[in-house]
Amino acid sequence: MSNFIINGGNKLSGSIHTNSAKNSAIAILCSLLMIEGKTTLSNIPLIEEVNRIVEILISIGFKIKFDNNKLEIINDGKINLETIDKQAYQKTRVTILFIGALVHKYKNFLLPKVSGCKLGKRTVNPHIIALEHFGITVQKLKNNYSITHKQIKGADFTMYESGDTATENAILVAVLADGITKINLASSNYMVQDLCYFLNQAGAKIKGIGTTKLEITGVKKLSPVENYSIMPDPIESMAFISMAITTASKLTITGCPIEFLQLELEKLRIMGQKINISQTYKSLSGYFDLVDIEIIPSHLHALPDKIYGRPFPGLNIDNLPLFIPILTTAYGKTLVNDWVYENRAIYYTELNKLGAKITLLDPHRVIVTGPTKMKPTTINCPPALRPAVNLFIAMLAAKGESVLKNCYSIERGYANLCERLNKIGANIRRE
């Protein structure tokens, strides 16, 4: 694991480009279990989470070749689950999508239980309940999931919870199920849309992309896709926005998928943040509107209301933590309600070690009082991606040398972060 030594207090300047979306890439990679032949994906983010999925796919028989940020993936149809890399599998929660991707190949199979960020109890019940509508039974064993079914038919149902990954699991089942599937209260978040567009290029028949009601007509098979480009990551865009504001820097973030940042930018506008937004242009896949966002140093005040995440089109649940460093620079008190995860709000109080004033009310809610001046310190990186990035951002603002230890959590989701930030004025080294 890397340690980041951050000499903070420097202004960032110029521009930084948004890399491709982690959550899109890993879901699309999981879907390749359903597609025999050679598929190529471009703009793959070179991050640890992608590396884990690649390791798993290779361990069960895939042939994969890297060429910079382009992947060539060959599935010859000879998948061997007995040789699966359990260590890599258990490091990433998205591997629960293997259930939906493999049910059309096997009627009875076992998969290891999943892990991922340590954010308290994260139920898989929304997945299990959704799959039951197709006639699929998922039984929780001590170390595995046992998956069984007889015949998979399309279904008309409402998601028990509008979760991103649970919706993706249902989609993977539906695209090859007999008949028509209608999914109500489906997540319409960015990674779900990107997965749907990719599957449609592979021959799926998905209607309603971008809405909470999907209609999917099952097809007999999916075909390989040549050079599908992964969309840019709105969460990375927001991380750079947070870095610019917290360090009082003038910075332009390019390639931002604006549809998935609009509410975040409106919250910032109400706080007094000055922002310039370019004209829209299309992503390389042609499916998403992008903009360049210029952040201008501003005097911020606390929001008049609490801030909280919710399923899209609400404020993105993964972007909510990135407001914490920003709120430490704003005059007044802000109530942050992170209702989704039991433990994530507790990690926010780690910023107090850097000089923040964050009061924990309960496992979901904190009050952030600002403005406060960040001071350097040494902290172990928490085992959760977004809270880890919060500490990293605060250290960028703290004048002097800070050390963030064991940064695997950050490297799961951000590629070459230190090198990219050093090019725009940061002073970071990795050891």
pLDDT-based confidence at 115, cuts 50/70/90? low
What average pLDDT does range 176-200 have in this prediction?
98
Higher pLDDT residue, 229 or 114?
229
The CATH classification of domain 22-229, taken from the options 3.40.50.850, 3.10.20.30, 3.65.10.10, 2.130.10.10: 3.65.10.10
Distances (CA, A) of 10 to 159, 248, 398: 46, 9, 9
Domain chopping of the chain, boundaries: 4-19+232-430, 22-229
Q: Which residues share a beta bridge with 67?
A: 70
Alpha-carbon gap, residue 34 to 164, rounded angstroms: 19
144-149 vs 108-112, strand pairing mode = antiparallel
Burial classification of residue 148, based on how many CB atoms lie within 10 Å of its CB (0-12 exposed, 13-18 middle, 19 or more buried)? middle
Indicate the SS3 state at residue 401.
Answer: strand
Q: pLDDT tens-digit profile of 133-145?
A: 999 999 988 888 9
Q: pLDDT tens-digit profile of 341-358?
A: 878 899 999 999 999 999
The structure's pTM equals: 0.95
Alpha-carbon gap, residue 350 to 358, rounded angstroms: 9
pLDDT at 117 over 60: no
Query: Which CATH superfamily hosts domain 4-19+232-430?
Result: Enolpyruvate transferase domain (3.65.10.10)
The angle, 0 to 180 degrees and rounded to 10, between the axes of the packed helices 164-174 and 190-201 is 20
pLDDT at 118 over 90: no
pLDDT at 120 over 60: no
Alpha-carbon gap, residue 170 to 309, rounded angstroms: 23
Question: Which run of H or E residues covers position 405?
Answer: strand 400-405
